[in-house]
Structure 1
C-alpha cells in the first residue's frame, strides 16, 4: 500500500513571501530574528506497551467506562492515532510485536509467523533456539529462548549502540515471543513461565538471574489468586450491549465468576495456566515491570542515558481467543487492564515523574468476532479446517497433472509445493502454482491466493490485500502459495472461540497512543498510520539512527 502524501500548492507562495520580506524592510530597521526553540531534554525512560490482541474499535467503544489514570489518560493527554494499522497480511503475535520496534515488515525482518515450516519440512517456532534454555525452568523443544530468527535490529539496539551500552533495555511479557521480539538483539527479555507462574529469562541474555529477580520469585505473587475469582468490575448494566455469555460446558463454565484452581488442590501447572486467560497475568506482568524499574534503576540512569522498558500484556489475546472480542469477558478484561495501567502510571509518576517518561501503547493485532456471532449478524462467516482443504488440493493437483504428492507441506495461510517433484515430472512450476490457486479459489471461504511467481515479481501488490500479503512474504522462508480467507472467515478446526491473522481491518486496525508532554502534542490524529512508524518516530525524538530495516515514517504531526 502506498503511503498517503499531499503536496501543498500554497507552500511556494509562503516561500516566495519569506524570500522577498528582507527587500521591503526599512533600511534602518534591524532584522528581527526569532529566538531558537528550546529543545526538550531526552526522556529518562521510554515505556513501550503492547496489549496483545486489542482491536482499535474496543478502545473507542468502551472509552467512556475507563478510569481517569490509564487508557483515558493516554487518549486525552497524548496523541491518539485512530486509523493505525499493523500493515502486513498475516496479523499474528510474533509479526506484530516485531513491527513495533524494528519499523520493518516480515519480508525484511524474517519473522513470518508465530510458527512456520523450514526448508527441511520441520515446524519451527519464531523464537526457539536450541543453543539456549530458560534459567531455572524446564525448557521444551520449541520454547522461545532467543531472537536468533530476527534478521534486523530494533530501536532498543540503536539506543544501546548510541549510548555505549549505558542505556538499559528490559522487556517483560506473558509470552516469550512478546518479550524477546521487543527486546531485540541486545536487550534483556523476561517471560511468564506457564508451569510455575514465575518470570524467567534465558541463557541467551545471562547465566543467572540478578538478585532482584530472585527476590520477586521468592515472594510467589502468582499464588495469591488461588481459590479466588475473576468477577466483573462494573455493574451488570455496563455490559448490556455485549454478546450473551456462551452456554456452559462440562470442562469450563464459560461465564463469570472464573475461579482459579488446580485439580491437585494447590497451586500447580494447570492453575498457573488458567491465570493466563484472565487479568491476573497482566497484573503480574506489570508488577514484574515495577520490580525491573527498581532492580535495574530504569529511568534513573547515572550516565543520563535513556532507558527503554517494553511491556507486553498477553491476557487480552487469550481472553479474546476463548470468548471473542464481542463478549462480556473481553469487555471486562479491557476495563481491568485499564485500571492496572493507571496504577502503573501512578507508580512511575512517584518514582520517576511522568514528565520524564515517554509512553507508547499499541497492539500486535486486532481480532475477528467469533464465527457464530458474525453469522448471527448475517455475515458469511465460517471456519475452514486446514486438513481437509489440503487433501482436496492434493487430489485436484494429482488429477490435473497425473502426479501425486505435489503439495509438500501446509501451515496456513502458507502452502509449500514440492518443486523437486515438479521438476522430476517435467512440469512447469508456474502451471502447478496457477492450477493450485485456481482450485483453491473455488473453495468456500477462500477470497485470494497469491503464488510464488506473483510474489517474486511483485505483481501481487496491485491491490490493498495483495500489498499486505507481499509485505508478509519472505522469499527464503515463506511458502509458495499465500491463501487469504474471505472476511470473517478463518482457518481452524475448532467449533468455538475467535482468532485473527487476516489483512482485514478488524485484524489490522490497532490502537496507537503516544504520551509525553515535552515531546508529544496531544490530540486525535485520524490520518492513516502504521505501527512501523513507531520506531522512526522514537528515533527522531531520541536523536538516534533508525533501525536498519525501518520503513515507517516519522509522525511529525504529533511532535512538539
Structure 2
C-alpha cells in the first residue's frame, strides 16, 4: 500500500515538473547608454520632457535612483565595458580610453587592433575590435547559451561605444567614421558591410542634417530656468563661430568641419536611432522566436558636453530632443516588436563636472590641474637622479617609468617612485599619490583608494597613480566646457532605468553599482553571468 502511494506521489511530482514551462524571455533586449549623462539631468529638465520618453521609463519602469560607478577613472571605454561585463577595470582590463602599452612602449587605444582591417573604410578608423577587453559581456554569454542562434549588434558614433558592449561574439558592431560620413565596421566581424548599411550610408543623412541651423527646440525662456545664459565664458564656440550661442549656423560650420560636425549636433543622436531601427528591420531583431540583443550608445551628449559644459542651453536642448526621439523609438518598438515583448534599460557611462571657472565665479573652490605636470616631474627627476627621460609616459594621472633607462643607469626604481609621490603630494591639487605596488600589495575596501584599486591592472597601469582634489579637473586642452574621469559623485552617479517585459513598476533609493546591470540581465535570461562578473543581480530589489 505504502509503495503504491509513493509511486502515485512520485508520478504527481514528475507531472508538475514536466508541466513547468521554459522561462518567458523578451523577444529583444535593448541597451541604451547615454554618454556623459548625469543622474540629475532626469530632474533638471523634467518639466521640459514629454510624457513618452524619459517619463515613460520613470513612470512605468523600475528606477534605481542611486546608481554609481565604483572605480576610477570614469571614462567612456571603462564605463561601457563595466556595464556589459559586470565587473571593473581591474578585471576586464579596460583601464582607460588610452593607456601606455608597456610591451610596445607606445600608446594603446582602447579598441585598437592592427590585426584587423576596416570594412567600409580603408583608414585606420576601421582597425578596431574588442580584443583588449579580457572578459565576456552578457551579450557573449547569451550568444553562447543560445548556441549562436541569437543575434547581437552594437551601434554607436564612437567605435568603443559600439564594440565593447556587443563583445566578442557579436554578429556586428557599427560605428561612425566622421571623415567619410559613413557607418563602418571591421573584419573582426565581417568581410563586407551588409546591404542595409550600405543603403543607409547612401542616404547621406549626416550631410542632410547639418544643412539647417541648430535652433533651440523650445523657447530660450524655458531653457533659462534650467541653464546658464546662452552667451557666457564657460562654453566653447564652434570653429569659425565668434560666440557659443544659438542659433548655430551649421551649413557654414560644415564647410570647415565636414561630416565630423554631426557628432556635436542633435543629428548625431538622430542617425544613431535611425541605424538602430534599420538594424531591427533588416536583421529581424526580436522577430525570430529567440531573444536578440541590440546595444545603442549615444555619443553626441558627450561631444556637446565637452564643448559647452553641463549648464549650457545646448545641453538642455540635446536632452529635450533626445527625449522626443526616445519616445518615438519606443513607439516604434511597440509597433514592430510589441508592447510588453521587449526589455530596455537606460544608463550612462559616466557623468560630468561643472566647469571650474563657473564654479570659481560662484565662489566654490575649483581649478584646473596643469597639463604640464608630467614634464615638470621628468625635469625634476633629471636633476635629482642625474639622468633625463626617466618617464616614458604621463597619462590618466599616472606616471609610467622608463624601465629600460632606469635599469641601464642602475637607478633605484623605488626611489624614483617615492620622489614622484613626495613631489605630487606637495601640490594643492593632489589629494594623494601612491605607487602601483601600494595598490597591488594592500587591500583598500572603501573610499577613493578603493576605487583606484578597482580601476587599475598590474600589466597596464602606471607606476605612480595620482588622485586629484574634488575641486580640480584635469583639462589639458581647453578651459571651456567640461570633462570627467574622477571618482566623485558628479562623475560616478548616473541614471539607471529598466522597462518592459519582466520589469515591474517601482523605484529604489538603495545604492547599487553599474556592475549590477550585467548580472541582472543574465538572471532575467536564466544563464551564466559574464565570466569576470563581480556585481549582483537587482531582480530581488524589483520584486
TM-score (norm 1): 0.88
Residue 46 of structure 1 corresponds to 29
Residue 193 of structure 1 corresponds to 177
- Note the C-alpha offset of 1:435: 2.0
1:499-523 residue CA offsets vs partner (Å, 9 max, x unmatched): 001111100101111112x411222
Q: Distance in 2 between matches of 1:112 and 1:553?
A: 21
Residue 475 of structure 1 corresponds to 458
Residue 237 of structure 1 corresponds to 221
Residue 281 of structure 2 corresponds to 294
Higher mean displacement: 522-531 or 395-404:
395-404
SS of residue paired to 1:69: coil
CA shift in 2, pair 1:419/1:134, >3 Å? closer
C-alpha RMSD of matched pairs (Å): 2.2
Q: Distance in 2 between matches of 1:263 and 1:463?
A: 47
Residue 485 in structure 1 maps to residue 468 in structure 2: yes
Q: Distance in 2 between matches of 1:329 and 1:412?
A: 28
Residue 121 of structure 1 corresponds to 105
Contact 1:179 1:191 in 2 (8 A): yes
Higher mean displacement: 270-279 or 50-59:
270-279
Contact 2:215 2:246 in 1 (8 A): yes
Q: Distance in 2 between matches of 1:101 and 1:478?
A: 22
Map of 1:161-180 to 2, 5 A cutoff? 161-180=144-163
Residue 273 of structure 1 corresponds to 260
Contact 1:144 1:176 in 2 (8 A): no
Higher mean displacement: 425-434 or 171-180:
425-434
Contact 1:47 1:357 in 2 (8 A): yes
- Note the C-alpha offset of 1:185: 0.2
Unaligned runs of 5+ in 2: 1-15
Residue 317 of structure 1 corresponds to 302
Q: Distance in 2 between matches of 1:436 and 1:536?
A: 40
**Aligned with residue 515 of structure 2, among 521, 525, 532:** 532
Contact 2:210 2:267 in 1 (8 A): no
Unaligned runs of 5+ in 1: 1-33
SS of residue paired to 1:477: coil
Q: Distance in 2 between matches of 1:549 and 1:293?
A: 29
Residue 7 of structure 1 corresponds to none
Residue 552 of structure 1 corresponds to 535
- Note the C-alpha offset of 1:424: 4.4
Higher mean displacement: 102-111 or 130-139:
130-139
CA shift in 2, pair 1:63/1:200, >3 Å? same
Residue 408 of structure 1 corresponds to 392
Q: Distance in 2 between matches of 1:296 and 1:373?
A: 47
**Aligned with residue 371 of structure 1, among 341, 356, 361:** 356
- Note the C-alpha offset of 1:425: 4.5
CA shift in 2, pair 1:519/1:559, >3 Å? farther
Contact 2:130 2:164 in 1 (8 A): yes
- Note the C-alpha offset of 1:215: 1.8
Residue 499 of structure 2 corresponds to 515
Q: Distance in 1 between matches of 2:368 and 2:342?
A: 44
- Note the C-alpha offset of 1:397: 2.9
Residue 430 in structure 1 maps to residue 424 in structure 2: no
Residue 240 of structure 2 corresponds to 251
TM-score (norm 2): 0.91
SS of residue paired to 2:169: coil
Q: Distance in 2 between matches of 1:321 and 1:362?
A: 19
Residue 77 of structure 1 corresponds to 60
Residue 97 of structure 1 corresponds to 80
Higher mean displacement: 68-77 or 269-278:
269-278
